[in-house]
Chains A and B, each alone.
Chain A
Amino acid sequence: MNVNNMQQVFLNLINNAIDAIKDSKKKEIHIDIHSKDAYVNVTILRNKKGGDIMSKQILVIDDDEAIRESFLLAVEGTEYQVETAESGEEGIEMELSNKYDLIFLDLKMPVISGIETLREIRKTNKKIPVYIITAFYKEYFKELKVIVKEGIEFELIEKPIDSEQILMVVKSILEYPISY
């Protein structure tokens, strides 16, 4: 078998394994390839969050449908996947799946506020980046100072924000710092 054929066979093996792991509940698949002179072992690992191997998952928690839509539109056609929650309660429940890489969280929400939602999330997940969506006004920041004193980590993203800015911020958090 010539080199090009071997490469194609190898690629087909890998792609079939990736398809198999996507469709199954297996966490990993091992491929062993033996020849007279060499031995190759390939392990395909399922993304620990259960999604596509390469995509990053974002959760947007906001009672404002327009805001939720704006995040969905901003990442449409990219490798990022956005899921949305209409309330703090729904967001807290969704976050328990532990499949997200990033959360955007509205500050002002009825019933369970953004602050309370963040407190709950941080009880089980101290590491996930959480960006609170808020207008930059001093009176909104009084309650934020309280959770800062509690040692709860978060960052801020300004409202309103356009699609281009949303995507830039997402990339800068999940990939590398962006200069503009």
Chain B
Amino acid sequence: MIKKYLFKLYLIERTSKSEQIIRNLKKSMKDELKDQFSLEVIYITENPELAKRAKVICTPTLIKEQPLPVRRIVGDLIDKEKVLTALDLAV
């Protein structure tokens, strides 16, 4: 099934904080986008070349690749409301 929203999340490594970010983002996205999204997680320490190619400048960074335009979000990704606002998904 083709997902309408494609996200990539760039984190340092598997940590309790990164797990919390992933959990919160998945929940926020599910609440707002139902099953119309996919979230891929990339750990920069394992794949720095992917981060460089994606022009990631800091962690954590969330990139919305689809639908266009591509948007990058940096900052506190734990707060649901702030992230949804940055993504223009807040109701």
The chain A residues found within 8 Å of chain B, CB to CB, are 131, 136-138, 141, 144-145, 148, 151, 153-158, 161, 165, 168-169, 171-173, 175-180
- CB atoms of B17 and A180 under 8 A apart: no
Closest partner residue, chain B, to A156 (CB atom): B59
- CB atoms of A155 and B60 under 8 A apart: yes
Q: How near does chain A come to B33, taking the closest CB pair, in angstroms? A: 16
- CB atoms of B45 and A145 under 8 A apart: yes
Which of B48, B51, B83, B87 has the largest count of A CB atoms less than 10 A from its CB? Answer: B48
Residues of B within 8 Å of A, CB-based: how many? 29
Tell me whether B71 is interfacial, beta carbon within 8 Å: yes
- CB atoms of A176 and B75 under 8 A apart: yes
Residues of A within 8 A of B86 (CB): 176-179
User: Quick one: given A155-B59, A157-B57, A158-B56, are A178 and B73 in contact (CB under 8 Å)?
Assistant: yes
Chain B positions 8 through 30: 1 when the CB is less than 8 Å from some CB of chain A, otherwise 0: 00001101110000000000000
Residues of A within 8 A of B44 (CB): 136, 141, 156
- CB atoms of A138 and B48 under 8 A apart: yes
Q: How near does chain A come to B88, taking the closest CB pair, in angstroms? A: 8
Tell me whether B32 is interfacial, beta carbon within 8 Å: no
- CB atoms of A178 and B60 under 8 A apart: no
- CB atoms of B58 and A177 under 8 A apart: no
Q: How near does chain A come to B89, taking the closest CB pair, in angstroms? A: 11
Within 8 A of A (CB), among B26-80: 44-45, 48, 51-52, 56-60, 71-77, 79
Return the contact of B12 from the options A154, A176, A178 (Cβ within 8 A). A154
| A113→B83 CA distance, assembly (Å) | 34
